[in-house]
Structure 1
Amino acid sequence: MRQNAPTSKPGPRGILSVQVIVDAALRLLDDKGPDAMSMRGIATELGVAPNALYTYFPDKAAVLRAVVDRLIGEHAVAALAATERPWRQRIHDLALELRAGLLRHPGAAGLVLGAPMDGPQALALGERLLDVLAEAGLDQDDAARASYLVIVYLLGFVALEAAEVDPTRPAPPEDERVASRQAGFDAVSAAEYPRTAASAGTMARYITTEQFAWGLDRLLDGLQP
């Protein structure tokens, strides 16, 4: 697997490092959205010339992959390692923690969907998830397929949630988002879309932790050997 791994060479005047650059990229992501995360934008944020960044990263894609790996690595591996808890609970803890963490950076949803999850943190997460699914009784092939299914469910859910909020602010509280969605459904014509109007209260809550856990439970039910 080809990876553009960052190096650890000392930077200009000793002010740069992989961590400093990723921190700056995350600040731009949170303050201005993903479009601001160019090499020039990151360099401006740090007060250095753009070519100073190339000591650490070969290109913008490598920076974005490092940001994704940071966001993945901030969460969840510890949840999967808690072997005193049942395997289903560990996957629940992983999914809930990672969802909450990504929603603190709504602009990251597109990055996570668009960048290969092949950094060291993502690989560690994947390995631990395979361990837990093997513990659940799945064979090697089924564990690999199930791992992909869990990640796709998680990232797809987060992407749809993040699409409804400002990418430069953490997602508002769930009750505020539900109220906004409910107002939209209230405008739907019951005569033209009767089933949608009748289900509006449930549909308004699609972006809640309750709905996320409901779907995750049914996904895990289907993985039981």
Structure 2
Amino acid sequence: MSEAKTPGTDVGGVEALTERRIVDAALAVLDLDGARALSVAAVARRLGVGAEAVHARVDGSDGLERTVIESVLSAVALGSLTDDGVEWTAAVIQFALSLRGKLFDHPAVAELIMSGPMDSPSADGPVAREMTEALFVCLARGGLQTTVRAHGVYAVLVYVLGSIALDVAETDGKPPLPGESERIAARRAALGDLDPTRWPRTAAHLAEIAAWTSVDQFVWGLRVLLVGMTAT
């Protein structure tokens, strides 16, 4: 008589668990309940397997987070960064918009990137390193000095991830996120009771402030950052 198998696994509970299945289950947990809900046990429950099977495949909770992050980052378009036919600032903007879009698809992953197991540069996965390398190539194409490139790559990543975090913070963090026009309208409504006699300069720019989470604002700020690098 053949040995009964745990649903979704091979004998021993590991062989049939592919990385893709684990990532899909992890993203489902993240999308539904947020970054704090992600754990080896939560993913195992969703897959209908024992936690030890998932643990063995991804090397624990830190490994699980890295695997999910790497999977999402692998979908970000990097080609423009190393393409001599694409002007360098335009290339960075294209990359940033691609990263923004992928993280908006799974907002909790942005939180993982900023608060997860990226405890040192050596902890970055190969996809994250490829992204960083491509940014260095792009800034070199822009003629930036060596030290400026190093500061510039970090500045771009901080700007992009920080902007995404602030945008997501104004939602419930569950995909699909509200559309841009809906988010701008909600921000404008929230500013409706601002006292113009107390904060007159702020009150004069309510329309622009409401659109701080827009694509136009995102691109504007990034372009200013990139142009500023050429003046240092």
Per the alignment, do residues 13 and 100 of structure 1 end up closer, same or farther by CA in structure 2, a change over 3 Å counting?
Answer: closer
Shift of 1:191: 2.0
Larger Rg: 2
Using the TM superposition, give the Cα deviation of residue 93 of structure 1 relative to its aligned residue in structure 2, in angstroms.
0.3
The aligned amino acid for 2:86 is: R
- For residues 116-138 of structure 1, the C-alpha deviation after alignment (integer angstroms, 9 at most, x for no partner) is 27111110011111011111112
1:144 has 2:145 as partner: no
CA RMSD of aligned residues (A): 1.7
Q: Is 2:73 the counterpart of 1:94? A: no
Looking at structure 2, the residues matched to 177 and 154 of structure 1 have their Cα atoms a distance apart, in angstroms, of 19
2 CA distance for matches of 1:139 and 1:195? 38
Cα deviation digits, residues 66-101 of structure 1 (max 9, x gap): 211222221122232333211111111001111111
Distance 1:194 1:11, change over 3 A: farther
1:62 positional shift: 1.4
SS state at 2:58 partner: coil
TM-score (ref. length: structure 1): 0.90
CA contact (8 A) 2:78 2:95 kept: yes
Range with bigger deviation, 37-46 or 110-119: 110-119
Aligned-pair CA distance for 1:162: 0.6
Q: Distance in 2 between matches of 1:19 and 1:215?
A: 36
Quote the sequence identity (%). 35
Measure the CA separation in 2 of the matches of 1:158 and 1:17: 30
Letter in 2 for 1:187: D
Which residue of 192, 195, 212 corresponds with 2:201?
A: 195
CA distance in 1, matches of 2:194, 2:228: 34
Judged with a 3 Å threshold, the aligned counterparts in structure 2 of structure 1 residues 142 and 60 are, in CA distance, closer, same or farther, namely same
Alignment partner of 1:156 is 2:155: no
Q: Which among 158, 170, 177 is matched to residue 171 of structure 1? A: 177
How many residues end up aligned between the 2 structures?
A: 216
**Match for 1:120 among 126, 131, 146?**
126
Residue of structure 2 equivalent to 1:204? 210
Match of 2:19 in 1: 18
Alignment of 1:59-74 (within 5 A): 59-74=60-75
Q: Secondary structure at the match of 1:56?
A: helix
Q: In 1, distance between residues paired with 2:213 and 2:200?
A: 22
1:21-100 alignment to 2 at 5 Å? 21-100=22-101
Counterpart AA for 2:185? A
Deviations 1:15-58 (A, max 9, x none): 20222211211111112222221111000011000011122122
Q: 5+ residue gaps in structure 2?
A: 1-10
In structure 1, the gaps of 5 or more residues are 1-9
In the alignment, what sits opposite 1:107? 108
Conserved? CA contact 2:136–2:153, under 8 Å = yes
